[in-house]
């Protein structure tokens, strides 16, 4: 099977549900994909895409010009799809491009699939309302009306009802779409996973950083975007420090901009824990994982809400794959992973609840070891991308057989 696959992420992408699932593991089951995308900024020359061909556009100029050029690239590539070459057209997280893909699929008499990793129109509406008019009229109206309300109509009134199948991010997202009138049999959840061929703790030595010696190390790995509300970790650290004065919080990752990083550092200072917080900045995966391997507990705060509840966070899976027990809050997918896998403690998204759970793990080494082992076994059995790719490949085969 060969897909023509349009994605919102520039190529090459570090999104594992694109790079690992479609670029590495699905081809092993006979599912290849030609990727239609924008070339990632700063990437010159030929781009290697493990899933098939990379059909890229190098956009230049201002935001509106790039948007128009990209849309034209998607439209022409999809509408020129060769029916003899492809068995299906698939679009990820782009309602307007999906409308073009749906049209192309009907003209070519090919199945059309939509891959929904996030409810993007609702996210744009939320962004606009949170931003208000402070950033200017157009930066308020564009996400609210065009990328919000109009794309909302396209997605739920045209694209999803007429798609031959929809792959969603989680069981919760399937439930949300069912409530919007999309038939359950058209919805297949594909949760996030881990590439177990690279995330091998036995091959990843803990970071040899003098600043970690003699410390009880906690680690937060990943984005520090405003919406994640990771500032609760500083208040958590202040509470944990009362019982464990040698505790150290590792912040491995980067903020979305300099303003956000300054704000987070200020919050750590206000909580009185700046001297117990170590910021590494962005690191390549292998180097970041070395710092995770040096920690005793992995932290995974992920705020609750109608949009984020439909997500399938990867942080917990990465910690568990690397043999680190986790303290996470009760996002539905995180709660399921920890309940089924026994790899950590699941608590409400508050500093006090996180602090109590962390302290419980720090004081009980046998419990930490047991949870680390149990969680790692669970991830290896059910959340490796080799396993998930087999499920997706089987679903594609079933869908094509039914055509």
CA angle 31, 34, 38 (to 5 degrees): 140
For the chain, the distance separating the N- and C-terminal CA atoms, rounded to the nearest angstrom, is 14
Q: Tell me what pLDDT residue 124 has.
A: 87
Contact 255, 225 (CB under 8 A): yes
Neighbours of 96 (CB within 10 A): 18
Instruction: Look at strands 112-116 and 32-38 and give their pairing.
Output: unpaired
Of 284, 288, 280, nearest to 255 by C-alpha is: 280
What are the backbone angles phi and psi of residue 242, rounded to the nearest 5°? -65, -30
Burial 24-35 (b: 16+ CB within 10 A, else e): bbbbebebbbbb
CA distance 93 to 18: 12
For 79-134, write each residue's pLDDT tens digit.
999 999 999 999 999 999 999 999 999 999 999 999 999 999 998 888 888 778 77
Distance CA 107, CA 10 (A): 27
Q: Can you give the pTM of this predicted structure?
A: 0.91
DSSP 8-state code for residue 282: S
pLDDT tens-place values along the chain, 403 residues long: 999 999 999 999 888 999 999 999 999 999 999 999 999 888 877 888 999 999 999 887 787 888 899 999 999 999 999 999 999 999 999 999 999 999 999 999 999 999 999 999 998 888 888 778 777 777 788 888 888 899 999 999 999 999 999 999 999 999 999 999 999 999 999 999 999 999 999 999 999 999 999 999 999 998 888 778 899 999 999 999 999 999 999 999 988 788 888 999 999 999 999 999 999 998 988 999 999 999 999 999 999 888 888 999 899 999 999 999 999 999 999 999 999 999 999 999 999 999 999 999 999 999 999 999 999 999 999 999 999 999 999 999 999 998 7
pLDDT at 142: 81
**Six-digit token pair at 361?**
């793990």
Chain center to CA of 245: 34
Q: How far is CA 158 from CA 48, 178, 192, 306, 342, in A?
A: 34, 15, 27, 22, 41
- Give 297-313 pLDDT, tens digit per residue: 999 999 988 888 899 98
User: Do 297 and 325 form a contact (C-beta atoms < 8 A)?
Assistant: yes
333, burial (CB in 10 Å: exposed 0-12, middle 13-18, buried 19+): buried
Query: Quick one: pLDDT at residue 117?
Result: 95
- pLDDT score recorded for residue 133: 78
Q: Name which of 287, 298, 297, 320 is nearest 206 in CA terms.
A: 287
Spatial separation of the C-alpha atoms in residues 119 and 113, rounded to whole Å: 16
Number of alpha helices (DSSP H) and beta strands (DSSP E) in the chain: 16, 13
pLDDT given for residue 330 in this prediction: 93
């Amino acid at each position: 099977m060969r897909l023509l696959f349009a994605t919102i992420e520039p190529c090459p992408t570090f999104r594992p549900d694109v790079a690992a699932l479609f670029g590495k593991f699905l081809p092993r089951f006979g599912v290849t994909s030609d990727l239609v995308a924008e070339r990632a900024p700063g990437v010159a020359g030929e781009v290697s895409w493990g899933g098939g061909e990379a059909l890229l556009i190098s956009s230049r100029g201002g935001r509106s010009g790039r948007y128009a050029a990209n849309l034209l690239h998607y439209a022409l590539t999809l509408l020129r799809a060769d029916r003899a070459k492809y068995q299906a057209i698939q679009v990820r997280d782009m309602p307007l491009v999906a409308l073009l893909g749906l049209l192309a699929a009907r003209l070519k008499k090919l199945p059309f699939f939509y891959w929904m990793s996030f409810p993007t129109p609702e996210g744009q509406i939320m962004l606009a309302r949170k931003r208000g008019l402070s950033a200017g009229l157009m930066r308020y109206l564009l996400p609210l009306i065009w990328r919000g309300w109009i794309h909302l109509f396209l997605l739920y009134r045209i694209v999803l009802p007429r798609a031959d199948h929809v792959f969603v991010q989680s069981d919760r997202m399937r439930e949300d779409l069912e409530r919007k009138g999309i038939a359950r049999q058209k919805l297949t959840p594909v949760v996030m996973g881990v590439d177990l061929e690279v995330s091998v703790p036995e091959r990843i030595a803990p970071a040899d950083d003098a600043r970690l010696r003699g410390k009880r190390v906690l680690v937060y790995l990943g984005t520090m975007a405003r919406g994640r509300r990771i500032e609760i970790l500083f208040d958590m650290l202040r509470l944990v420090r009362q019982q464990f004065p040698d505790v150290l919080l590792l912040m491995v990752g980067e903020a979305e901009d300099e303003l956000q990083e300054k704000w987070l550092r200020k919050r750590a200072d206000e909580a009185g824990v700046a001297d117990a917080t170590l910021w590494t900045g962005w690191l390549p995966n292998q180097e970041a994982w070395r710092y995770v391997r040096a920690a005793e507990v992995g932290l995974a705060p992920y705020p609750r809400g109608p949009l984020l509840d439909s997500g399938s966070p990867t942080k917990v899976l990465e910690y568990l794959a690397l043999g680190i027990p986790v303290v996470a809050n009760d996002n539905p997918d995180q709660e399921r992973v920890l309940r089924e896998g026994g790899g950590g403690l699941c608590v409400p998204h508050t500093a006090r609840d996180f602090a109590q759970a962390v302290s419980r793990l720090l004081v009980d080494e046998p419990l930490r070891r047991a949870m680390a082992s149990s969680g790692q076994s669970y991830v290896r059995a059910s959340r490796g991308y080799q396993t998930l790719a087999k499920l997706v490949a089987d679903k594609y085969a079933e869908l094509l057989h039914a055509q």
